[in-house]
Amino acid sequence: MGIYLSSPRTEKASEDGENERLRYGLSSMQGWRASMEDAHAAYPDLDSSTSFFGVYDGHGGKAVAKFCAKYLHQQVLKHEAFVVDLGTSLQKSFLRMDEMMRGQRGWRELAILGDKVARVSGVLEGLIWSPRGSEVKRGEFSDHADEWSSEEGPHSDFDGPNCGSTACVAVIRGNQVVVANAGDSRCVISRKGQAYNLSKDHKPELEVEKDRILKAGGFIQVGRINGTLNLTRAIGDAEFKQNKHLPAEKQIVTANPDINTVELCHDDEFLVLACDGIWDCMSSQQLVDYVREQLKEETKLSVVCERVFERCVAPTAGGEGCDNMTMILIQFKKPVSSNASVSD
């Protein structure tokens, strides 16, 4: 089949919600790609004062993106720093995803989320299937168990998946937005119509990324790490995290996120979280301009996201506009007045 379909799948999975602080809409669309590897999470009431939104763009398979959508917000909420330091709870939870995906339980959960065991080829979404393992069934173990890497079994030495996912997360509490990002999905805020990037795309050409890659023993070829991966931070991608002498933050590819904290003010209109399938087609400012124009006539935020997809999707296969597309649009109801500034 190749990586592209003969015609795009333009059916959209959309959702809207709100609470007293904000309203949101989201949508996702497979598009021209042969499979849908994006995932997302939207929890406007993670607790009584905190909202959580995340976009996860998988590569090499969907299992890691779906794993993040299922577990990342849970780890943020249960971390000891959650109440006093959102940035720390986010950073530790990103790294925790890689830890949880190792070992027997991690392998089994990824198998369930990958949703397909190819017994003939022995490949599951970039994972290895073992005939020694029992039949994987949905819901086979409870979610509350936390001993992810200590279970006995044929995959107790499983180092983690070779597929991976970006993670771009925005957590809103009071008059603050805390953004955590690993990869090239992006968070943008519209402040009085001006677009400000609240995350940085992690690409091999960035000096800080290049320096870490080379020091960890990797190389960059035609803009890709070791000639294959075109982003430098991601959850999963265990093959790039095998240097036993380096901490997780200094591996060739790291799940360690950039953290950005922003004080909201009355000029702040909305946040956008989206995968690179959108940013390949529109700049941050172009998207903000388009969303503002749509909001003059459309109140349902998921419909605005759907219209962005329709604008971006390519007429023919190949190039920009052919990726999976996922977008979350968050509108603030009661922004808190502040003199804070946002720098791009």
Which CATH number is 278's domain given?
3.60.40.10
How many domains are there within the chain? Answer: 1
What percentage of the chain has pLDDT greater than the value 90?
A: 79
**Do the domain assignments include residue 150?**
no
CA–CA–CA angle 248, 129, 150 (5° rounding): 45
Residue-wise pLDDT for 218-273, tens only, equals: 999 999 999 999 999 999 999 999 999 999 999 999 999 999 999 999 999 999 99
Rounded to the nearest 5 degrees, what angle is found at the Cα of 166, between the Cα atoms of 197 and 179? 40
Domain assignment present for 261: yes
Asked if the structure places residue 135 within a domain, the reply is no
CA–CA gap between residue 105 and residue 155 (Å, rounded)? 8
| 73 falls within a domain | no
Question: Per-residue pLDDT tens for 39-75?
Answer: 999 999 999 999 999 999 999 999 999 999 999 999 9
Domain holding 21, by residue range, is 4-61+161-332
Let me know if residue 342 belongs to a domain.
no
Q: How many beta carbons lie within 10 A of that of residue 186, not counting itself?
A: 24
Domain annotation covers residue 145:
no
Whether 122 maps to a domain, the answer reads no
